[in-house]
Structure 1
Amino acid sequence: MLNLPPRISSRLNSSQFANLHTFLVAARHLSFARAAQELCLTASAVSHRISRLETALNMKLFQRLTRQVSLTDEGERIFEILQSAMGELSEALERSSQPEIAGAIALYARPSVAQCWLVPRLADFIERYPLVSLDLRVGNDNVDFRTRKIDLALYYANGEFPGLTSQRLMRECMAPVCSPEYAQRHRLHENPQNLSNCTTLHDSLAWDHAAYDAEWSLWAEQHNLLAALPKRTLTFDRSDLCVTAAMSHAGIAIGRQQLVQKRVDRGELVLPFGGFRQYGHYDYYLVHPPLNVVPKRLQVFMNWLHMCAQEQTIEQRPN
């Protein structure tokens, strides 16, 4: 059962449900323009609906920036509630209308998120939908849906996918990580200036058109530590390989929270300079070509992915 906060439910009426749906789509895209395309509205109409909803709820849901929008804390909370409710409703309708969902799904994913996040969870999906088969392919290039038989892609990106339909699956935060032994050997805890004596481990293909040191530069610039970055480096084309090298005491890597949190919890990695933070606008997205009707097997798979992402978000919240 979904328990809406009383102060929200008391302010809703039948005229606001269309506005709630508009908010859900706009929050998923983080774009009024892309929401307008999906809903067959104008961007102005989307903006007006969001404004009416904010007035009715007496809360600000979006931060309006020059060329983009972002969710406020309240907006994030309402988005999670709506996303969960819609996922449960969709799953209930799917099961009642077609108990046996079957077919094949071809999924293309970035190697690191496939290795560290997706594959360890697949047993649950197989148990829920035993008649759905999954063909998983990985790579660092963006897939061409026109020439390859791919149903869905899972990308780590900035959310810009011209001509395609996208949903943000989960946010990502970053922090430098290394083995406990490496941190102790180089006296790194609360001493970021000691980075100059270390080896930095780089994912050279962190996102499209990224420089080989993009993640480290993004982190160091925010902390005024560009001068402290060492010249000694090891470079890989996958984030999970950087983390494996860090666990083997080869150096210090930029860890993505969704991929390394469990290793931190187990003590295999440490955060010598503090906890995870969001840098830039790079998150995980589900991407597919525009479809008039999303096949049921694909819809239940995307719903399941959102459920997994939401469960992990809840686990990561401080007690």
Structure 2
Amino acid sequence: MYNLPPRLEASLNGSQFANLFTFQAAARHLSFSKAADELCLTASAVSHRIARLEAELSIPLFRRLTRRVELTEAGERIFAILQQTLGDLSEVLAQPLDADLAGPLTLYAHPSIAQSWLVPRLAEFGLRFPGVRLDLRTGNDRIDFRSRQIDLALYYGNGEFPGLVAHPLMPERVAPVCSPQYAERHGLSGAIEQLQTCTLLHDSLAWDHAAFDSEWGLWIRQQGAGLPLPKRGVTFDRSDLCVTAAIHHAGVAIGREHLVGEALEQGRLVLPFGGFSRSGEYAYYLVHPRLDALPRRVSACIAWLRECAAQTPAS
């Protein structure tokens, strides 16, 4: 836990608490105008409140640049304290004082893993944690925990999440998949060179900073085939849409085992070139901000998700 600077600790009063709340909003957005919108104030009023706070405390909190503001070192320390303190207060107010494991929990996940793996397990979550109000949000962006009220995120990536805590959830394996009809039409069974006659289906947002054909390029390199990728392709921003297109005979997709297992079992997809291989360094991770102590419902959710992952018959 951060220690308050002695002069700040000695000079806090009621007015400064109000101004600290204004500072917290501005620091979270790194914008006086966005903080003004949130607090129903003018940007000038926000600027004056923060300037008054800085003058009374004799601590510069922001560096004012031409088109933006950034926190000073002291501002970063004080912002971290406020985030922790307000988070603790919100948790107390969000549930009865005698609650054991209850309250809101917002989980953010990429759409493909949410639809194919997470959502089918939520009935069990409700039975296990009846007092937790789960709010599941989906999207492809790497979210900003400072400006979004998200407790936990489920990402597919290489484990590098600067400034955040990442818990490995489960590895992933990949292989090309297509419909049985498409495989037969193009003579794909065991003939990787026949990919040149196919339409490739690409997930352009497979992981952070991925090129549109990164997954295919990684798989080709793993095979040591040295084949150029076919130029004919269709690009999506979700892996599950690639899989849906493959089921409907649109081409060949890179299938992640956790996402395509059911379609393979049902015969809607086949593996024309054999089984799955590890997805390089990429896997699924549970990610959250660094906190002195996680709310119990968040740590319980992490433990439950890892339990589910351990029971998943893949990789």
Q: TM-score, normalised by structure 1?
A: 0.66
Q: Is the 8 A contact 1:193 1:228 kept in 2?
A: no
- In structure 1, the residue corresponding to 2:262 is in which secondary structure? helix
Q: Where in structure 2 are the equivalents of 1:88-107 lying within 5 Å?
A: 100-107=100-107
Could you say which residue in structure 1 is the equivalent of 2:239? 239
Matched-pair contact (CA < 8 Å) for 2:108–2:152: yes
Amino acid in structure 2 at the alignment position of 1:147: S
Hey, what's the Cα distance between the residues in 2 that align with 1:195 and 1:132?
48
Deviation, 1:316, is 3.2
Provide the residue aligned with 1:316 in structure 2. 314
The answer for the alignment partner of 1:145 in structure 2 is 145
Q: Which amino acid aligns with 2:314?
A: Q
Does the 8 Å CA contact 1:194/1:228 hold for their aligned counterparts?
A: no
Aligned to 2:259: 259
Q: Kindly report which structure 2 residues correspond to 1:206-285, keeping only aligned pairs within 5 A, or say none.
A: 206-285=206-285
Q: Tell me the C-alpha RMSD between the 2 structures.
A: 1.5
Alignment partner of 1:187 is 2:225: no
- Pick which of 240-249 and 131-140 moved more: 131-140
User: Does residue 1:113 correspond to 2:113, yes or no?
Assistant: yes
User: What secondary structure does 2:281 align onto?
Assistant: coil
CA apart distance, 1:186:
0.9
Please give the secondary structure, in 1, of the residue aligned with 2:260. Answer: helix
Letter in 2 for 1:215: E
1:160 and 2:163 are equivalent in the alignment? no
Tell me which stretches of 4 or more aligned residues in structure 1 moved more than 3 Å.
none
Say if 1:179 and 1:268, in contact at 8 Å, map to a contact too: yes
Contact 2:258 2:314 in 1 (8 A): no
Q: Distance in 2 between matches of 1:145 and 1:229?
A: 37
Deviation at 1:220, TM superposition (A): 1.0
1:307 and 1:207, CA in 2 relative to 1: closer, same or farther beyond 3 A? same
Range moving further from structure 2, 220-229 or 179-188: 220-229
The structural deviation recorded for 1:264 is: 1.1
- Aligned length, in residue pairs: 218
C-alpha distance in 2 between matches for 1:239 and 1:260: 10
Match of 2:175 in 1: 175
Against the structure 1 CA distance between its residues 137 and 288, is the aligned structure 2 distance closer, same or farther, given a 3 Å change threshold?
Answer: same
- 237-246 or 298-307: bigger deviation: 298-307
Which amino acid letter does the alignment assign opposite residue 281 of structure 1? E
User: Matched residues in 1 for 2:278 and 2:309: separation?
Assistant: 17
1:66-104, CA deviations, whole angstroms, 9 ceiling, x for partnerless residues? Answer: xxxxxxxxxxxxxxxxxxxxxxxxxxxxxxxx9852111
Structure 2 residues without counterparts, runs of 5 or longer: 1-97
